[in-house]
Amino acid sequence: MIKRIPLAVIITSCCHFVWAQSSSTTMGARANALGYASSCLQDEWSVFNNIGALAKLKATTAAFTYDAQPSFKPFNKAAAVFAVPLKAGVVGLGVYRFGDNLYNEQILTGGFSSTFGLASLGVKANYIQYNAKGFGRKGMLTISFGGLATLTQHLSVGAYIINLNQPLLDHNSGEHLPTVLVAGISLAPSEKTLIVMELEKDLDYEPTWKTGIAYQFHKKFSFRTGFNVNPNAGFFGLGFKPKNISFDYAYRYSPGIGARHQSTIGYNFNQPTK
């Protein structure tokens, strides 16, 4: 019982904003290892990250990820995605959960992205449900929008908006779910190297700078690293992709918070088209 007191105290003392989304939904160990600079990453996890980049997916893909904080298990989170390329674009579905039995956040998301010339645009709807023991349950619908422009073979620019519609959280206080703006670029100096940089701005807080570098040192193996500024954090990870299956691992360390580990597995149901 004593071990549960700290979390209970946190929830009770923060009850005035208990419904506010407290966890980042940027998912996938690849994005994690790159400092969560995800606006230009083109994979199945664009369902949760930049929905506009999902249009670049070439194969039907399913993936699952688990993100753990050993020092405080109630902050663990998990997600799964399924994406299908169609003639008109790519459709993606995802589920997400953060927390434990005392407090948790659950999200069901669905989105669509399509390519228009050099750019791709996407939109998604999220149903978010918050559950807090002793405070009840609350659900709401949010809309997010994103885009990606491939300017050259080596340069891309991406941006997306989270919670564009700012749904109302509390009628008494007039508090809304925060809107987050994200914009970034990716540089590919060679076929084996990728550099990503991104700026994330919650309208209520100072911006966060994110940078990541990936290097494919073998046709099946990749090394990744990155950092964040405000709040400060360091990242690294590895990727392994034999044929249609992929495995990714990421490690994050933040001063005052400690370490987080994330593992991801993905599977392509058909060979990507060229």
Q: 155 phi and psi, to 5 degrees?
A: -135, 130
Integer angstrom CA distances of residue 254 from 205, 206, 233, 261 = 18, 17, 4, 12
Tokens of 177: 């779910």
pLDDT score of 171: 74
pLDDT score of 271: 60
pLDDT in tens, 68-113: 999 999 999 999 999 999 999 999 999 999 999 999 999 999 999 9
Q: 55 phi and psi, to 5 degrees?
A: -60, -20
CA distance 12 to 150: 47
Tokens of 27: 């998912």
Mean residue pLDDT across the chain: 90
Is residue 44's pLDDT more than 80?
A: yes
β-pairing verdict for 245-254 and 103-116? unpaired
Domain ranges of the chain: 23-268
DSSP letter assigned to residue 29: H
Cα of first residue to Cα of last residue in the chain, in angstroms, is 57
Is residue 6's pLDDT more than 80?
A: no
Is residue 200's pLDDT more than 80?
A: yes
pTM: 0.88
SS3 category, 36? coil
Q: Are 105 and 130 in contact (CB under 8 A)?
A: yes
pLDDT in tens, 113-128: 999 989 999 999 999 9
Residue with the bigger pLDDT between 212 and 271: it is 212
| Bond before 231 cis per omega within 30 degrees | yes
| Burial state string for 97-118 with b = 16 or more CB within 10 A and e = fewer than 16 | bbbeeebbbbbebebbbbbeee
Q: Regarding the domain delimited by 23-268, which CATH topology (the fold level of the hierarchy) does it fall under?
A: Porin (2.40.160)
